[in-house]
Amino acid sequence: MLSVHDFTVGYGAVSAVRGIDLDVPEATVTGILGANGAGKTSTLMGIMRAAPRISGTLTVDGRDLSSATTREVVGAGVALCPQNRRLFAGMTIEENLVLGAQGASTAVTKVRLDEAYARTPWLAARRRESAGRLSGGQQQLVAIARALMSAPRLLMLDEPSSGLSPVAVIEVRELLEGICSSGLTVLLVEQNTHLVQRLCSSAYVLAEGRVVGHDTVENLVADDLLSDAYLG
């Protein structure tokens, strides 16, 4: 579904991602692990064509998007649920969700809203409530639902458990388990290795902008390479 080769992402003179190769097979859940500053978020931003300097090849479902715009990447079926949720706090839950379906007809948007409400029922009851009044965990569930409103073929999630309470992490995990079991292709950036173990079949380990490991999650967790990547 997704392939990047010799992929570099930079900000000015600084390269946050340095010539990585990464493949995400269709209908799988693939993780990206690594310490803060390893290049995980920059990898996702590069795939979305949302960084100042990007080089290398990007292919989505066999389509070369190496020179694409962000809009074209979204049009190819890629959605990003960003780090720290980034909801519009002054807008309602439903207004935030509708933003995720930009370009879709009113009828299609209605169908996707119904699907979101069926997947997470409390959203329907509170759809007129301001998103800024929700807890961090509730906001994360809305952010995931918003990303799904574009009906993506590839969903990328950036640290969905970051800053959440243990109870909220469980709620997010349960929602993601349902999404992943549906056959949607998922690329998950996480520092919570327990969450990656529950959801992912394989993962890449990044350190200083480079891939330093790629294996099944079980093998990575058992390997000193993972602790070295986090702890140095």
What is d(CA 160, CA 139) in angstroms, rounded to the nearest whole number? 10
Are 32 and 62 members of one domain? yes
Are 190 and 227 members of one domain? yes
Are 157 and 146 members of one domain? no
- Token reading at 32: 């990206």
Containing domain of residue 119, as a range? 85-151
Are 136 and 159 members of one domain? no
Are 25 and 136 members of one domain? no
What is d(CA 60, CA 77) in angstroms, rounded to the nearest whole number? 8
Are 36 and 89 members of one domain? no
Are 73 and 90 members of one domain? no
Question: What CATH number is attached to the domain comprising 37?
Answer: 3.40.50.300
Whether 174 maps to a domain, the answer reads no
Q: How many domains does the chain have?
A: 2
- φ, ψ for residue 201, nearest 5 deg: -90, -35
Identify the DSSP state of 133: G
What is d(CA 109, CA 160) in angstroms, rounded to the nearest whole number? 24
Whether 177 maps to a domain, the answer reads no
Are 158 and 145 members of one domain? no
Are residues 16 and 39 in contact, defined by beta-carbon separation less than 8 angstroms?
A: yes
Q: Where are the alpha helices (DSSP H) in the chain?
A: 40-47, 70-75, 93-99, 106-119, 122-125, 136-148, 166-181, 193-199, 217-222, 224-231
pLDDT at 222: 83
- Token reading at 146: 């918003």
- φ, ψ for residue 10, nearest 5 deg: -135, 160
| CB-neighbour burial class of residue 173 (10 A; exposed 0-12, middle 13-18, buried 19+) | middle
Whether 172 maps to a domain, the answer reads no
pLDDT at 97: 98
Tell me which amino acid residue 171 is.
E
Are 73 and 138 members of one domain? no
pLDDT at 230: 67
Are 127 and 214 members of one domain? no
Predicted TM-score (pTM) of this structure:
0.94
Are residues 206 and 43 in contact, defined by beta-carbon separation less than 8 angstroms?
A: yes
Whether 70 maps to a domain, the answer reads yes
Are 189 and 229 members of one domain? yes
pLDDT at 221: 81
Q: Residues of the chain whose pLDDT is less than 70? A: 229-232
Are 159 and 218 members of one domain? yes
